[in-house]
A and B are shown apart, each in its own frame.
Chain A
Amino acid sequence: MSERVRQIIVPILAILIFLAGWEALVWINGWPNYVMASPSDLPAAYSRFADLFLIGAWQTLWRTVLGLLIAVFAGLALGMLMGFSRTMRDALYPLLVGFNAIPKATLVPVLALLFIGQHDFNTVMMAFLISFFPIAVSISVGLSTLEPEYRDILRALGASRMTIFMKIALPKTLPEFFGALKVSVTLAFIGTNLVEIVSPHGRGLGALFLSGQTNSNYPLMFAVLIALALLGIVLYYAVVALEKIFAGWAERQES
């Protein structure tokens, strides 16, 4: 019980100390709002633009989640290809590494030109492109390093490859998969924001940030940053909760 309370109190305290430090920094330096807003400026910004924040947060959220979902399926498929076939691994690995090395900001204009005006599509696409790599790698490594005996206990009974994958390889790879998913969710979020911020007629929290910039509304810009941080935390801990459910082997599996 007290452990649970501690788990909630400690992070809240840390956040409060952080906000106090920020407030103090602005106050000591005497920075005006157009240099750096302070936390005490934020509530006003939130209440004034509450509708825009809600709509923006929803747009950012669903496009990030959709992009991540596509990344999960694509990453799973690629990871299975590379995990089961050495030829595929040899063929695809350098391609993937090369693709992953490309700074994703360079893809924004490419996507924008390819799919003109498809803002939602471009955003989801970017969230997907930026986040599938860790998933593909974790699945392929998990599958290719599966000890042969694990496969043999079912293969010796004539089980199909699919059965072996579902009953053994996939669950055994889940911890690595969720480790990768925690990285991917953050990347997808960055991808969404990237497109939102640089697109001229964008939507989502990123677009709200951009409008704060064009209108020199610095408290709004900082309010967006904080909202993004909060949304990022929500997404990350949603993955952690899923991990607890599907790979938290401390709990019983089925009744």
Chain B
Amino acid sequence: MAQVEIRDVRHAYSTKAGPLPVLDGLELSVPEGDFCAVVGPSGCGKSTLTRLVAGLMKPDEGEVWLHGELVKGPRKTVGMAFQNPVLLEWRTILDNVILPLEIVAPSMPRKDRVARAMELLDMVGLSGFENKRPSELSGGMRQRASLCRAIVHKPDVLIMDEPFGALDAFTREDLWQTMRALRQAEPFTALLITHDLRESVYLGDQVVVLSGRPARTQYVLDVTLPADRPLDILYTQEVGEMLHVLRDQIKIAQGRPVEGAA
């Protein structure tokens, strides 16, 4: 059974100018342990999709299933990361990472929480920074800490909304590799929103292209690359072709002509 299953979801926001349809017949299925990257024109409803999967809001129509259960509200088996790392300035990096455990496992001894957080901080290269304040870290380091916090409670599903969007190109590539290392160490199913096609192919097992607003599933690309991916796999012809297909699909989603731009 698929870990994340979205069936014919429709949703509209009510605005001053009347209802604004955002999702219109969205379908998505992510098998357990898979990594699903979602791309689409800006404003098409990607963040709305993450909020629906996280149970932060309910769709007008359609169903969202997580590991065989209909999503009716928030659940402890979900982890979230955003473009803004939203670290709490009054806590150290360590205590920021521990935060979800205070909610999910209130009876867990502090010693065990610290051990778990340190294990993750070590994995993303932040050991030695655990007692620093968020403001003392660079943007890339903060995003690493934010990723640790998102998975510290071993969620089944990790939902990320453009987590690397605000980072420079080199830092971003570092974070991609960190992301892949985390996936090898920790089993989770991932849903990643991104506007970077290379990122979607490098990290994804499948790439879902959403149409312009209101979004529906326009195209699904199966990424047929080995699990072990060095960065320079991005410069192979195989990946080049995938990126080409995705770019054409994005143009269609944006309602722009496909020819003439290649």
Contacts and interface: CB of A to CB of B under 8 A. Distances in A.
Chains A and B form a bound pair: yes
Interface stretch (B10-18, B87-95, B215-223, B241-249): B87-95
**Chain B binding surface, main DSSP class:** loop
A249 B74 contact: no
A206 B106 CA distance: 52
Contacts of A155: 56, 74
A155 B56 CA distance: 7
A201 interface: no
Nearest to B153: A157
Interface string B16-59: 00000000000000000000000000000000000100111000
Interface stretch (B97-105, B183-191, B200-208, B230-238): B97-105
Interface stretch (B78-86, B120-128, B168-176): B78-86
Nearest to A157: B103
B149 interface: yes
A253 B91 contact: yes
A111 interface: no
Interface stretch (A43-51, A96-104, A166-174): A166-174
B88 A157 contact: no
A156 B54 contact: yes
A149 B90 CA distance: 17
**Chain A binding surface, main DSSP class:** helix
Contacts of A247: 90
Contacts, number: 65
Contact of A168 (B54, B88, B104): B88
B76 interface: yes
A253 B103 contact: no
A150 interface: yes
A156 B86 contact: no
A147 interface: yes
A154 B54 contact: no
Chain B CB within 10 Å, residue with most, of A147, A172, A249 = A249
Contacts of B7: none
B67 interface: no
A149 B92 CA distance: 19
Given A157-B103, A158-B75, A158-B76, A253 B95 contact: yes
Q: What 7 pairs between A and B have smallest CB-CB spacing?
A: A158-B74, A249-B90, A156-B54, A157-B103, A149-B86, A159-B103, A156-B80
